[in-house]
Structure 1
Amino acid sequence: MHRVTPLKVLYFGTPVVLISSRNEDGSANLAPMSSAWWLGQTCLLGLAETSQTAANLHRERECVLNLPSSALVDAVDRIALLTARPDVPPHKVARGYTHSRTKFASAGLTEQRSHLVSPPRAKECPIQLEATLDTAHRVTDGLTAFQVSVRRTHVAEELLIPGKDYVDPLRWDPLIMKFCEYFGEAANLRDSSLATGWQMPHAQPAA
């Protein structure tokens, strides 16, 4: 039996993305978010217009999408309630946010020089995507979908299927956000007809 009920959030389960960008003073910002979806080499990032990351994207038009594994959950949570905005919005103050412009250090993560964009990569994240802003789509209630194109992809060697440019889904264990809670631990439930149809390399058991 189903019950008709309004849900406050619709975060049924999406990967966490640590977006690195440049603040107006040149410092590096690092912000966790989980409203992202992908199409080809394009990603749409759902952000509140009141966020420092949104301001940085409008101004600098570039970022790095760092994808943390589930093992980095503590690092992500350490900056979950930090904002680089010096004037912390009242609704964030009410939720416990405080101001910080040293979020890489607060997370315990290392800045790594990017190849094509100014914002640094997060060295400890096994997948890092350098991206530039194509356009911004205004949505209701102060929300914007930022459309970015991935320009360069960095993947940890141990995640790649040997001899192929594919991530092994059994070795890649992304940090997942479900209804504001953290989840992980990759598991292959069954063979995929879709993977066969798309001629994707089949996952191999992790060593």
Structure 2
Amino acid sequence: MNSTLAIEPSVFYFGTPVALLTTAKAGDETANITPISSAWALGDTYVLGLSNGGKAMRNLRDNGELVINLPDARLWESIERIADTTGVADVPAPKRDKYRFEPDKWTLGGFTPRPSGIVGPPRIAECPVQMEARVTNLTPLDEEGDATIVHAKVLRTHVHQALAVPGTSYVDVDAWKPMYYTFRHYFAQGERVGVNFRAER
């Protein structure tokens, strides 16, 4: 049996998918892009962890609409170009030593906006998966009020044609290569090692 050690990691990102949220406040010409790695799905609801000081959370409180864009591994450099930016002009004090204001993350990251069909914020054309969604619940993470748990119901899902299994709503799992964030490093999906009993194809 393997022995264990008690450790105190600074973060708990053992491996979570990267997502790019697009949000917009009513009247803003340019939608904001927020890279996050605290995201997971339960049914048609995405659960997102967001800092209260960021532009995304402010926009979601304003209108509750967003697009959850899932990049693949080839986009890591584009994501890293916007990683140290914030859409908040008055950069919050806890972020000032590492983040800078950037009003147009689209140009900086080399991303292309595409209109959504149901929600206001645009989709990111380069991301192979784009999910239009609407907030259904906001819950404070803790008493400090630094972050919020966001429940967002997916209303419509778009995928690049290369990922779609013809004639179905299935995603080709061999073609889909999501990006993972593991202890602040980017990883591509590795080889398939097995199949769950509930897999439909």
TM-score range, shorter chain: over 0.9
Matched, 1:103 2:105: yes
**Inter-partner Cα distance in structure 2 for 1:73 and 1:23:** 26
Report the equivalent of 1:33: 36
Q: Which amino acid aligns with 1:117?
A: V
CA deviations 1:56-106 (Å, max 9, x no partner) are 1111100000100101111111100010001111221212x1101101111
CA deviations 1:13-47 (Å, max 9, x no partner) are 11111000003551210010000111010001101
**Inter-partner Cα distance in structure 2 for 1:7 and 1:108:** 33
**Inter-partner Cα distance in structure 2 for 1:46 and 1:52:** 13
In structure 2, which of residues 113, 116, 139 is the aligned counterpart of residue 114 of structure 1? Answer: 116
**Inter-partner Cα distance in structure 2 for 1:53 and 1:199:** 34
- Measured on the aligned residues, the alpha-carbon RMSD in Å equals 1.3
Q: Which amino acid aligns with 2:35?
A: P
CA deviations 1:100-123 (Å, max 9, x no partner) are 110111110001100001100001
Asked whether the equivalents of residues 68 and 126 of structure 1 are also in contact (C-alpha less than 8 Å), the reply is yes
Asked whether the equivalents of residues 127 and 155 of structure 1 are also in contact (C-alpha less than 8 Å), the reply is yes
Asked whether the equivalents of residues 170 and 186 of structure 1 are also in contact (C-alpha less than 8 Å), the reply is no
Asked whether the equivalents of residues 62 and 117 of structure 1 are also in contact (C-alpha less than 8 Å), the reply is yes
SS in 1 for 2:12: coil
In structure 1, which of residues 170, 174, 183 is the aligned counterpart of residue 174 of structure 2? Answer: 170
**Inter-partner Cα distance in structure 1 for 2:165 and 2:115:** 26
Q: Which amino acid aligns with 1:170?
A: D
Percent of pairs with identical residues: 35
Structure 1 residue runs without a partner (length 5+) = 202-207
Q: CA deviation at 1:159?
A: 0.8
In structure 2, which of residues 187, 192, 200 is the aligned counterpart of residue 188 of structure 1? Answer: 192
Report the equivalent of 2:200: 200
Q: Which amino acid aligns with 1:91?
A: P
Any runs of at least 4 consecutive aligned residues in structure 1 with deviations exceeding 3 A, and if so which? none
**Inter-partner Cα distance in structure 1 for 2:15 and 2:124:** 23
SS in 2 for 1:91: helix
Q: CA deviation at 1:186?
A: 3.9
SS in 1 for 2:175: coil
Shift of the 199–68 alpha-carbon distance from structure 1 to 2, 3 Å rule, reads: closer
Asked whether the equivalents of residues 68 and 132 of structure 2 are also in contact (C-alpha less than 8 Å), the reply is yes
In structure 2, which of residues 76, 98, 116 is the aligned counterpart of residue 73 of structure 1? Answer: 76
Q: CA deviation at 1:199?
A: 4.6
Asked whether the equivalents of residues 172 and 186 of structure 1 are also in contact (C-alpha less than 8 Å), the reply is no
Structure 2 residue runs without a partner (length 5+) = none
Report the equivalent of 1:160: 164
